Amino acid sequence: DSGVTQTPKHLITATGQRVTLRCSPRSGDLSVYWYQQSLDQGLQFLIQYYNGEERAKGNILERFSAQQFPDLHSELNLSSLELGDSALYFCASSADPRTDSYGYTFGSGTRLTVV
């Protein structure tokens, strides 16, 4: 157990639907990162939050959004889902990135299947 908790582990939904993925970071970690991993795209950075604020944005689609709440958990919202959104979605956390140089801790991921 890495200490980063992601729910649900598996999700099957239809095209056009909206889903929410949840991530609880490791205790004490202030930063949360979301990654998408599909077979043809590898691990793609989506977005980073630090202590409730968005800090870095990667290849996140406009149909996707995220937020980090005061208790530091984060949610990734995916809407108007398409077949191509089927992927593993990973959340990672790190301590204060201004001082932490030991990398991220990843959760076990949510496998999203859009049918």
Number of residues that bind other proteins (CB under 8 A): 32
Instruction: Closer to other proteins by CB, 50 or 64: give it.
Output: 50
Residue linked to tokens 């990398």: 103
Residue 104: Cβ within 10 Å count: 21
Beta strand extents in 1-115 (DSSP E only): 5-7, 10-13, 19-24, 31-38, 42-50, 53-57, 64-68, 74-78, 87-94, 105-106, 110-114
Q: Judged by CB under 8 A, does residue 90 bind other proteins?
A: yes
User: Considering the complex, what minimum distance in angstroms separates the CB of residue 109 from other proteins?
Assistant: 6
Question: Is the separation of the CB atoms in 107 and 9 below 8 Å?
Answer: no
- The residue (of 10 and 70) whose beta carbon lies closer to other proteins is 10
Q: For residues 21-40, which are near other proteins according to CB under 8 A?
A: 31, 33, 35
| Interaction of residue 104 with other proteins, rule CB under 8 A | yes
Binding to other proteins by residue 50, rule CB under 8 A?
yes
Note whether 109 and 6 are within 8 A (CB). yes
Applying CB under 8 A, which residues contact other proteins? 2, 4, 31, 33, 35, 42-45, 48, 50, 55-56, 58, 88, 90, 92, 94, 96-98, 100-109, 111
